[in-house]
Structure 1
């Protein structure tokens, strides 16, 4: 189902085990929601539509690098070595998700930056400094500028919490951390929001960017996630399963 059971990767980009980790990270949060009765089993269908193109592109890039590394033509090898010597070799562009559980633009395509990996930085919460993923765990994360999350209606906030969304409110530069009101120690998340022209970014449990919005679009962004998960408050609720996933 995952990793080398689903695909065998050439070794040249070191993406074999990495692809396996991505497979597991993609599947685990979906199984969690399905087994807790919070979403329909159709969510599991997005595993292939999200992971197959991503893994395939890494395979093709790995194979291309293998051709470069193993060339036996002395002329081609000399040109290759010169390009490496003067740092003129292009780097493979890391693929992003192009389909699946992602926020959509008006044309139905994933919005800008949706499907890419979110940045990782250190934050301070209640006086303790840690990495972002240590704070939110293997959950959805709604990262907002100060007081933006207050725009959410109570029922919508409750629905987000039911599917495991953690609220992370960035403290103003001169503020203090308290609860989920956090300090952006490395200056990662505030600039990331600014680069998106957004007040909020919603990350999936596998740290793929689901989507982003300004203050006025927050509720629409949250509703779109719940719609894609086919969440309803009447679904049976079960405790979260224990998962082990890097």
Structure 2
């Protein structure tokens, strides 16, 4: 039996990776040792980056019924005083910054979404026991458990294997890489309740020295509480309804009449693998990194992994890029995953203290900090959250056009660049996603009109005219689409002027795209399939930027195994718009 990619584990990362590979026209088999998906919630927070990835999967309508947008988080002390509020406004990536969600129901939609693809298969009751890298392929051995309990062995041949089976990942252990970090001994009990007895919509992190807690309003009338257990409280105690009622006594009017769905005990981990890749075997999601729940970023970090890795696997399998592009997965994702772990651990250290002197000093410091409007807004707008930035990988330095790496701050002596409003590099970060107009749609999200693969976009120019015939052939081999951004007032003229060039004309409705090009003093941008900026340049240097980008991604020569676009699923296109 053969497939292009074997994904080990039908958790959220594995399901997301399978959906994206399916969208890109690739084949994959997901092997899951359980008989079904996990039915209990772990994560409760979904962010705008993940929703943008779900948009790429074309599953937004399926997922949103199980979410609450604009989820506000408040950090409160034992007296009920608010020490910090997270209530970010604006939707720079096209979606609200924070959602509450019911993970099992969202995961189920990711699973159901795989039924769209003929070449994606999920097999439950398959426990992978070996993944032998034989140089030009991987031989995967699995023990298959039947409904009657009988077992048999099955072998699958794949080009690549991705372990997404969680923190205890056998794939990672077989790779022999270290899982570096810390696993605190503190235990927490999670209590999920139907028919929310509070009826409040948001999140409270309770830094209460008497007993730290979390209270979360979730979709469908579900309330989650999390309470820290003390060392002298055995985990088995959570099975006693009297103990659970005592925990909730100060949080609800009548804790004896609650409709408790489940109680589970868990510990927090802050760990990251020393390597995400070994030959044709990779790891992603919790198999590669574990983080405490405080920032709600475990599930989201897995989505980032799937989004980053999927298009690179598809590029290699389609003959667009050399296998070396897969090294950029770790180069791009490791630093940010580690930063999210560190931030989550730090926030946990603010919440967990039970020493009243320590808590008193913490509360005093928070009151002082909140006196400053700038400090207060820094936390309210969630500017402390590390956003992904790729200093190395499939990126091109915007000034020197050096492939594969870039500084955070631009250093060009060229006057146009010196005059840029923002001296930070625009490369290696996500491009914004405003609402835009085209000849066929009004007020659409940008990604829905540009498609899901490479985009070469120019402000005010037809990008197709900025490249030589050979360069256009290289872009065709990449499966790239030309897009011309301009003010909405110019769009009707440009649609007639650029007719026949294959360029999609996109009207900038609110001026945010114009603002991006102005702020960064760039005229052309190369958007990767994951909507990160791979390269940006002045219009006259478009050809040089393309050449550097092809080096950074290990691009294959035009004509090798045909165009990469030939192996990809059809790009979304509206009637009358060239794909």
1:106 alignment partner, one of 369, 384, 400: 400
Which has more strand, going by share of residues? Answer: 2
CA shift at 1:146, angstroms? 2.2
Match status 1:228 vs 2:513: no
SS of the equivalent of 2:521 reads coil
Deviation sequence 1:16-74 (CA, Å, 0-9, x none): 11111110111111111100112111111111111111111111111111112223323
CA shift at 1:234, angstroms? 2.9
Which has more helix, going by share of residues? Answer: 1
CA shift at 1:120, angstroms? 1.1
Match status 1:37 vs 2:37: no
Q: TM-score, normalised by structure 1?
A: 0.89
Deviation sequence 1:96-119 (CA, Å, 0-9, x none): 112101002439541622111211
**Contact 2:340/2:386 (<8 A) preserved:** no
**Contact 1:68/1:80 (<8 A) preserved:** no
**Contact 1:46/1:101 (<8 A) preserved:** yes
2:438 alignment partner, one of 125, 137, 140: 125
**Contact 2:285/2:305 (<8 A) preserved:** yes
Q: Which stretch of the first structure deviates more once superposed, 69-78 or 181-190?
A: 69-78
CA shift at 1:186, angstroms? 2.5
Q: Structure 1 residues 147 and 94 mapped into 2: Cα distance closer, same or farther (>3 Å)?
A: closer
Who is 1:144 aligned against? Answer: 458
Q: Structure 1 residues 14 and 35 mapped into 2: Cα distance closer, same or farther (>3 Å)?
A: same
1:96 alignment partner, one of 389, 398, 401: 389
SS of the equivalent of 1:57 reads helix
SS of the equivalent of 2:535 reads strand
Who is 2:477 aligned against? Answer: 162
Who is 2:309 aligned against? Answer: 27
- Paired with 1:171 and 1:106, the residues of 2 have a C-alpha distance of 27
Q: Structure 1 residues 171 and 139 mapped into 2: Cα distance closer, same or farther (>3 Å)?
A: same
Deviation sequence 1:97-149 (CA, Å, 0-9, x none): 12101002439541622111211111111141210111122212222022251
Q: Which has the higher contact order (CA 8 A, sep 6+)?
A: 1
Who is 2:530 aligned against? Answer: 206
Q: TM-score, normalised by structure 2?
A: 0.40
Alignment length (residue pairs): 243
User: Mind listing any 5+ residue stretches in structure 1 that lack a counterpart?
Assistant: none
**Contact 2:291/2:341 (<8 A) preserved:** yes
**Contact 1:148/1:199 (<8 A) preserved:** no
Deviation sequence 1:185-239 (CA, Å, 0-9, x none): 1222111011111111111111111121111111111121122233311311263
Larger Cα-atom Rg: 2
